[in-house]
Each structure stands twice: as structure tokens, then as C-alpha cells.
Homo-oligomer: A and B are copies of this chain.
Amino acid sequence: MFNPLLLPELREMLAEHDAEQLRAFCEELHPARTAEFMAGLSAADAWDVLKYADLPIRVEIFGFFDEAKQREIIETSDRREIGELIAALPPDDRVDLLKEVEPKVVAELLPLIPVVERRDILRLRAYPESTAGALMTTEFAKLGEQVPVREALEELGLQAENLEMIYYLYVVDDADHLRGVVSTRQLVSSLGKPDVTMGDLMERDVVTVDVLDDQEIIAEKVARYDLLAIPVVDDEHHLLGIITHDDVIDIVREEATEDVQRLAAVDPLDTSYSRTHWFTLARKRGTWLVILFLSSIFTALALKAYKRDLSEIAWLVLFIPLIISTGGNSGSQSATLVIRALTVGDVRTSDWLPIVLRELLIGLCLGVFLGLFGYGAVFLVQRSANPLQAFIVPATIVLVVLWGTLAGTLLPLLFHRLGLDPALMSNPFVASLCDIAGIIIYMNVAAVILGLC
């Protein structure tokens, strides 16, 4: 992404302390792009470049550095300069960042941060991770009901540089209770009527989240109501902060990643895949692999119980992998579809009966279809198979696919109903259940059909 051609130039400017050029470099491009161009610089060099920019631009570019570089700059640069930077960072971002910094450094930095910002940091830090409190920013436009449009717009103009979100103005009473919201759109439309007050304009039916709500709820509400930001309130409807659209996009991406990882039986990673230590990865995968492994032992025990039946027709054994995979695959499909539909709010557990019936219909259809292939497959693998005995395979396939769709549908619904994350019902887990059930079904079908012979 970044342009390595620019790096020697940048280093030269730094060596020559070319203030004018470095300042121009920081101001010219979108801050995210400037940060990308600096990706090849060491943390110390990057910070040296930033020091030539004005504080607001320095803060913006810094915000687009990756986390490792941000942390290194904070931990190794002059404490007083960093204190100034931190005081100017968006409140939600600086709290997230300080959580990653060495506690010793944080302790040294805190006294250097102005008292208002310091209190804010300590307060936000107290909220549990992934809750609205931990995600919200405390810098937003807050006005009284009596304020006229003209004044509101002037006030907004003065504060615009310091606020993360200036497109919603929140109306509060003297005790900071949220009363309504006015959009900058409404404000701008009312320019012709400067004496109209915030109270006249405001929308009273405000969609809010509770300060302890989980990020999944926040993302769902912002998406449903097409909001740019959502206000965060406590039990008494005091306005505590807001969560902005860019954080919501990050939440949606993060939640999707977690769901995908759970579906594949990996305990969700705390940070990105590339930055997770190999041992942490091994641990988060190993836990589930062991659970799945132990359940596989039951498959071995089930097979042993039927050993005598298996020896009656030697070729039966050849189709064990095919039968259990087919069950597992159809089970994974159902589980994934149901889990995702539950996550995005497309289906509810109260709809379980029509969902199960539809899945069974689909399962029957798929089972019969695959069964036809299965009957052919027996003769492909074992030419000499008895045509009636060969019927064991398709009959088992129909039942195994039905079982897979049923288990894949019911288990996530049950987990959701019990208040657990349905994604815990991972695909490999459903597949494991299908393995054991597959063996039992196979052997019993074989016994019935051999009885007929």
C-alpha cells in the first residue's frame, strides 16, 4: 500500500531538519494516506516527522498508524510531548490505546495530562470491554432546549475542530438528561429561521443504547436505524457519550470475524490473526480440537460395538468416511445458515418449528438426491456388490443427511434459546455429532437390510 520511493526523501528531509517540507508533507494528503506513506519509518522517525505538524493534524495522522507503532511511540518518546498528544486524541481511542501500553508508562503519563482529560480517561477505563461505555466518546455537541438555531450554529463552528461528530446535536436538560436530538441537516435547513430553538426542532424519540449494552446490540441498532452516531445513556437517561459510525463499522467487522472463528471451532482471537502469537493461536485451537478429539473416541467405540456386523460384508467399511462426511457437511450447512440468520436478526427462536420443518424438507430432498449417487458409488467401488445389500448405502445417506440438518438446525436454536452464543455450536461440533450418529445409523440400517436378505 505505501510508496517506498518516498521514504529516502522523507529520511533526507528529517536529516536536514527541513521543517517547511516536512510540515507540507503532513498537511498535503488525507491523514490515512500520510500514515501509509510512513509505514516504512521506525516509530522514532515517524514521531520526529509528526512533531513538525500542527497538533490537530499530528493527532489525525497518529490515529491512522497501526497499533504497534502507536504503542512504541508512546512508550519511547518524550513523556511531556506524548501527554499533549494523548490529551488531544479522541476519548474512546486514547482509552483503548492506553490499555495496550505498559502500566508503568501510563502511570508516568497520567500526571502530565490535563485534569479534565485525565478524569475522562479514568472514568472510561472503568467500563467492561466491548460495552457501550468502553466504546463511546465523550466529545460531542450538547445544548439546552432554549438555544436558538443561530447560536447553536455559531457554537458548533467554534467547537467543530474538537468534536469527533458534529452532525448530531444532543439536547439535554440542566441535569444532563437526554431530551432530544437535532441533526446538523435540520440546523442548516433552518438557517432562514434563526430564532427557532433546539427544543422546537428536536426529534424527541431518540434511539439510545445503555452504557452496559454489548457491542453487538449497538451495531444492530445503528444498522437498523441508519444512524451516524448513537447516544449512550445510563439507567436514568443521563447522556454519557456517543458511539460514532466509524467505530460501528469496525464493530461489525470484528463481530463477523469472531463468528467466523467460532464456526470453525477457534476461540475468537483478541487481536488480528497476523499479530497473534503462535502459541496463543495453538492454545485457542487446541482447546476445541481436544474436545472434538474426545468426542471422536466415541465414534471409535461405536464402531467397535458393531465390529461383528461390519465383518459380515467386507466392503461396508469402505463407505464409512463417505457417510460421516456427508452427514457432517449437511449439518454444517444448516448450522451455519441458522447461526448467521440468528446473528443478523433474520430469524427468531420462536420461529423454530417452521425453520425445522423447512430444513427437514431440504434435508429429505438432498438426502434422496445424494442417495442416488451413493447407490451408484457402491458399484463403482465394489463391482461385485449384491444389489439389495448395496441399498444399505443410499438408505443410510438419506437418514444421515436428515439427522445432519436436524442437529444443525436444532442445536443453534437451542443454544440461542438458552441465552448462549449460537456460534459456540461450531460446525466441527455438529460434524462430530454426525460422525457418531452416522456410524450408528449405518450399522442399524445394515442389520435391517441384511435381515431382509
Interface positions of A (Cβ within 8 A of B): 28-30, 32-33, 153-154, 156-157, 160-161, 166-167, 184-186, 188-192, 203, 205-207, 219, 222-228, 245-246, 248-250, 252-253, 256-257, 259-261, 263-266, 272-274, 278-279, 281-282, 285-286, 288-290, 292-294, 296-297, 299-301, 303-304, 307, 310, 314-315, 317-322, 324-326, 328-330, 332-333, 335-341, 344, 346-347, 351, 355, 358, 361-362, 365-366, 369-370, 373-374, 377, 380-382, 427-428, 431-432, 435, 439
Q: Is the CB of B336 within 8 A of A266?
A: yes
CB-CB nearest in chain B for A322: B296
CA distance A289 to B153 in the complex (A): 61
Q: Chain B residues with Cβ under 8 A from A365's Cβ? A: 279, 282, 286
Contact of A224 among B28, B32, B321, B335 (CB under 8 A): B32
Q: Chain B residues with Cβ under 8 A from A153's Cβ? A: 188, 191
Q: Is the CB of A249 within 8 A of B266?
A: no
Instruction: Select the residue from A30, A322, A329, A377 with max chain B CB neighbours within 10 A.
Output: A329
CA distance A303 to B329 in the complex (A): 20
* Copies of this chain, count: 2
CA distance A93 to B166 in the complex (A): 26
Q: Is the CB of B337 within 8 A of A273?
A: yes
Q: Chain B residues with Cβ under 8 A from A285's Cβ? A: 330, 333, 362, 366
Q: Is the CB of B249 within 8 A of A341?
A: no
A279 to chain B, nearest CB (A): 8
Q: Can you list 10 A-B pairs, Cβ within 8 angstroms, ordered by A? A: A157-B191, A157-B192, A223-B249, A227-B246, A228-B228, A273-B346, A278-B361, A285-B333, A304-B318, A310-B317
Q: Chain B residues with Cβ under 8 A from A377's Cβ? A: 293, 297, 300
Q: Is the CB of A341 within 8 A of B272?
A: yes
Q: Is the CB of B256 within 8 A of A30?
A: no
With A320-B320, A329-B431 known, 13 other A-B pairs at CB within 8 A are A160-B186, A253-B344, A256-B256, A261-B337, A273-B346, A281-B337, A286-B365, A286-B366, A289-B330, A300-B319, A303-B321, A328-B431, A329-B428
CB-CB nearest in chain B for A167: B167
Q: Is the CB of A347 within 8 A of B264?
A: no
Q: Is the CB of B296 within 8 A of A265?
A: no
Decide yes or no: A274 and B191 within 8 Å by CB, A29-B205, A319-B300, A322-B297 being known contacts: no
CB-CB nearest in chain B for A364: B282
Contact of A32 among B28, B225, B293, B307 (CB under 8 A): B225
Q: Is the CB of A321 within 8 A of B435?
A: yes
CA distance A245 to B244 in the complex (A): 11
Q: Chain B residues with Cβ under 8 A from A261's Cβ? A: 336-337, 340
CB-CB nearest in chain B for A279: B365
Q: Is the CB of A30 within 8 A of B257?
A: no
Q: Is the CB of A326 within 8 A of B293?
A: yes
Q: Is the CB of A333 within 8 A of B265?
A: yes
Q: Chain B residues with Cβ under 8 A from A431's Cβ? A: 325, 328-329, 431
